[in-house]
Amino acid sequence: MPDLFWERSIIEKPQDGRDMVCHASAWDFFDGEDFRIKQCTTITSAFFKTTHHEMGHIQYYLQYKDLPVIYRAGANPGFHEAVGDVISLSVDTPKHLRVMGLLEDGPDDLESNINQLYKMGIDKIVFLPFAYLLDLFRYGVFRGSTSEADYNCHFWQLRETLQGVEPPASRSEEDFDPAAKYHISADVEYMRYYISYIIQFQFHRSLCQLAGEYTPGDTDRLLSNCDIYNSTEAGNALG
């Protein structure tokens, strides 16, 4: 990361009374020098991953900063999110957390690996129907097939049908629950995340093989425990 990144990024909520949107985001100021992230973190595992994700966006910005402005974008929105998450996939492994001194030494056995995979499944697989339905909801609004009076009901119908979840309390059209999701209120299409949750594992697998961290069929080099930290080969490929 450039020195200017560390000087101008906001990692913690300002204590000077400034009002700001705390949702994590990465910013390219299109001058080839100024790149920042903005978020209000506390010391948690979730923010640890989110910060690395946003820094993945910054690294993508840095890679194309010298191109004409029209080309300073990801191959598609899903690519940008996938690159960010590829970084998070490595930093969240027990192997990397031990290297960083954030996790005590513990058993590295089959049960531990199953736990890691289960946690990953809850994070990544369960998310897919939600990502899909969020844009289904948006498209219905844009097309006019979902009436204003039916916004909230349609949102929960999609959640029940595709996710199998229901609201924890009675809801009505007096409520507008979709707006609680930042991307709905900020008009950010959400299919990028659905795509990224698939292709990030393709990126991750390739980088892990280049780093010598993953060998198909080798139980000592599992993809679920891959850490590309300090791998020049993986870094060159990602860049």
What are the binding residues for Zn(2+)?
53, 57, 81
Q: Spell 180-209 as b/e; 16+ CB within 10 A means b.
A: eeebbeeebebbbbbbbbebbbebbeebbb
- Going along the chain, which residue ranges are E strands? 25-28, 35-38
Catalytic residue among 54, 80, 96, 204: 54
**What is the C-alpha separation between 176 and 155, in angstroms, rounded?**
9
Q: Compute φ and ψ for 160, nearest 5 degrees.
A: -70, -40
Residues within the annotated binding site? 53, 57, 81, 192
56 and 86 Cβ atoms separated by less than 8 Å: yes
The binding site for chloride comprises 192
Cβ–Cβ under 8 Å, residues 115 and 94:
no
The residues near 8 (Cβ < 8 Å, ≥ 6 apart) are 34, 36
Catalytic-residue membership of 33? no
- Is 204 annotated in the active site? no
Q: Which residues contact 162 (CB under 8 A, 6 or more apart)?
A: 129, 130, 132, 133
**Among candidate residues 8, 11, 21, 88, the one with its CA nearest the CA of residue 42:** 11
User: CA-to-CA distance for 213 and 52, rounded, in angstroms?
Assistant: 20
**Exactly one of 12, 23, 183, 213 is catalytic; which is it?**
183
Q: Which amino acid is residue 169, in one-letter code? A: A
List active site positions: 54, 183
